[in-house]
Chain A
Amino acid sequence: METAAPARPPAEEAAEEFLVARARSGDQEAFRDLVEHQRDRAYALALRILRHPQEAEEAAQEAFVRAWRALPRFRGDARFSTWIHRIVARRALDRAAALKRRLGREVGVESAEALPAPGGGTDAAAAWSRARRLEALMATLSEAQRAVVTLYYYENRSVEEVAKALRMPEGTVKTHLSRSRAALRAGWLREERSDP
C-alpha cells in the first residue's frame, strides 16, 4: 500500500523555492521564514520518533542548523520540506541511539505526548479514544520502527522515500513496517479483549 506525499499548492512551493534561493545566498531572514513554516511538522516528527519533548526539540533544532550548513549543497532535487524532514528523522534516530546507549533502554516510552481533548460528538470521542490507544501502542515499538511508521503513515512517504530518508535498504524498511504492523495489531487485539 504505497502512499504519496500530500500535494501542495504551486504558490506555496514557489514561495518555498524563493526562500531557499535567498537562504542559499546567506540570507538568514529567509531561512528564519523557512524554519517558521516547517518547525511544527519537524518537531512533531521528532517527537513521534523520540517521544521525549526535550530530545525532540533538540533533534529538530539540530536538523535546522545542519540544513543551514548544508544549504549550499542542497540541489533542489527534493522539496526543502522533504529534505528537512529527512534530516529531522535521521537526527531523531541518531539521538535515540545515543540515548539508548547512555541509558541502556529505549527512550520516552513512558512519556507519551498529550493528545488534544476531543470535540463534541460520539464520533470525535471514538476517534480520540482510537488515537490515544494508537499513541500508547506506538510507544511499544523500537525507535527505528517508529521512525519508519511515522514517515510512511504520518508523513505519507513511500517505502523508497522512507529508505532514502533513513538511509536504510528498502528491504529493511519493509521488514520494520511488517513487524510494526504485527506488533501494533497484537497490542490492539489485546486491548480490545481487556477493554471491550
Chain B
Amino acid sequence: MRSCDEFERWLDQGSPAAGALDARAHAGGCASCAAAERAALELEAALATAHGPAVTPAPPGFTPRVMARIAAFEEARVAAWALDDAALPWWVRAAAQPATALACVLGGLVVWKPEALQSAAAAALAWLQGAISTPRLSLPTLPHPYGDPLVQLGLALAALPFAAWAGWALYRWSERLVCPPGPGLGHRV
C-alpha cells in the first residue's frame, strides 16, 4: 500500500482481510493513518455493541393502534364488497361489467364496419370447415327484408342489451364459483 489515499479506501471498504498486511505496514509508518485505523476500530466496536437487546421500546399503545388500523381496513374492505353487491343501482353495476364494454365494442363494429364483420365471420366459418373436414357450408343468405343493412343494424342494436346482460350474469356466476362472498384474507388487498 503506497499512499494514504489507498489506506483510506481500504478502511472505507471495512478493512477487508485482503490487503490487511500492507495496510498495517503503511499505518506503522504514518501517524495520521494509524489514528484513522484506531478510529475505525473504535467505531466498529461501538457499532457492534450498539445492536442487541438495548432497542428503544415502541411507545405505549403501539399494538392496539396497529390493530385498530387493521380493523378499520377490514371494515372498509367489507363495506367495499357490500357496495359492490347492493348499494349501487343495477344499471351502474351492469355498466361497470366487462361484458358491457365488450358488447359496446361489438356494437360499434357492427355500426362502423358491418361488411368487414360479415367477411371475417365467413372466413372464420371457412377455416372451421377446413379444420373439421366437413362439406363446405355457405353462409345463410338472409331473405328480404333482413338482408337490408339497416335492418341488420337494428337487430344488432336490439341484441346488445341481451348480450350485456348475459355477459354480466355469466361473469357473476363464474365469480361465485371461484370466490365465495364475504370478508377474508386474499380479497382485494
> Do A and B bind?
yes
Establish whether residues A1 and B14, one from each chain, have CB atoms under 8 Å apart when the complex forms: yes
The total of chain A residues at the interface (CB under 8 A) is 50
Main SS of the interface on chain B?
helix
With contacts A68-B73, A131-B50 known, is A40 near B185, CB below 8 A?
A: no
Query: Which of A11-19, A94-102, A139-147, A183-191 lines the interface with chain B?
Result: A183-191
Cα distance A43–B66 in the bound complex, in angstroms: 12
Query: Which of A56-64, A75-83, A103-111, A164-172 lines the interface with chain B?
Result: A56-64
Establish whether residues A131 and B73, one from each chain, have CB atoms under 8 Å apart when the complex forms: no
Which listed residue (A40, A177, A181) contacts B40, Cβ 8 A?
A181
**Contact flags (1/0) for A34-61 with B, using CB distance below 8 Å?**
0110011111100100000100010011
Which listed residue (B45, B63, B186) contacts A72, Cβ 8 A?
B186
The verdict on A134 contacting chain B, using a C-beta distance below 8 Å, is yes
Establish whether residues A178 and B58, one from each chain, have CB atoms under 8 Å apart when the complex forms: no
The B28-81 residues at the A interface (CB cut-off 8 A) are 35-36, 39-40, 42-43, 45-51, 54-59, 62-63, 65-67, 69-71, 73-74
Establish whether residues A40 and B48, one from each chain, have CB atoms under 8 Å apart when the complex forms: no
Establish whether residues A39 and B63, one from each chain, have CB atoms under 8 Å apart when the complex forms: yes
Which listed residue (B43, B55, B66, B67) contacts A185, Cβ 8 A?
B43
Query: Which of B5-13, B94-102, B104-112, B142-150 lines the interface with chain A?
Result: B5-13
Establish whether residues B71 and A69, one from each chain, have CB atoms under 8 Å apart when the complex forms: no
The verdict on B154 contacting chain A, using a C-beta distance below 8 Å, is no
Interface range on chain B: under 10, 10 to 19, 20 to 34, or 35 or more? Answer: 35 or more
Establish whether residues B50 and A134, one from each chain, have CB atoms under 8 Å apart when the complex forms: yes
B73 / chain A contacts, CB cutoff of 8 Å: 65, 68-69
Main SS of the interface on chain A?
helix
A133 / chain B contacts, CB cutoff of 8 Å: 46
| Chain B residue at minimal CB-CB distance from A3 | B48
Establish whether residues A154 and B51, one from each chain, have CB atoms under 8 Å apart when the complex forms: yes
The verdict on B21 contacting chain A, using a C-beta distance below 8 Å, is no
The verdict on A156 contacting chain B, using a C-beta distance below 8 Å, is yes
A53 / chain B contacts, CB cutoff of 8 Å: 59
Which listed residue (A31, A43, A73, A134) contacts B56, Cβ 8 A?
A43
Residues of B within 8 A of A (CB): 8, 11-16, 35-36, 39-40, 42-43, 45-51, 54-59, 62-63, 65-67, 69-71, 73-74, 184-186, 189
Task: Please list the 3 inter-chain residue pairs (A to B) with the smallest Cβ-Cβ separation, ordered nearest first.
Answer: A44-B55, A43-B58, A154-B51
Interface CB pairs A-B, < 8 A, 30:
A26-B184, A31-B67, A35-B63, A35-B66, A40-B56, A42-B58, A43-B55, A43-B62, A57-B59, A61-B62, A61-B65, A61-B69, A65-B66, A65-B73, A116-B54, A130-B42, A130-B45, A130-B49, A133-B46, A134-B46, A134-B47, A153-B48, A154-B51, A181-B11, A181-B12, A181-B40, A182-B12, A185-B39, A188-B42, A189-B36
Residues of A within 8 A of B (CB): 1, 24-26, 28, 31-32, 35-36, 39-44, 47, 53, 57, 60-61, 64-65, 68-73, 113, 116, 127, 130-131, 133-134, 149, 153-156, 177-179, 181-182, 184-185, 188-189, 192
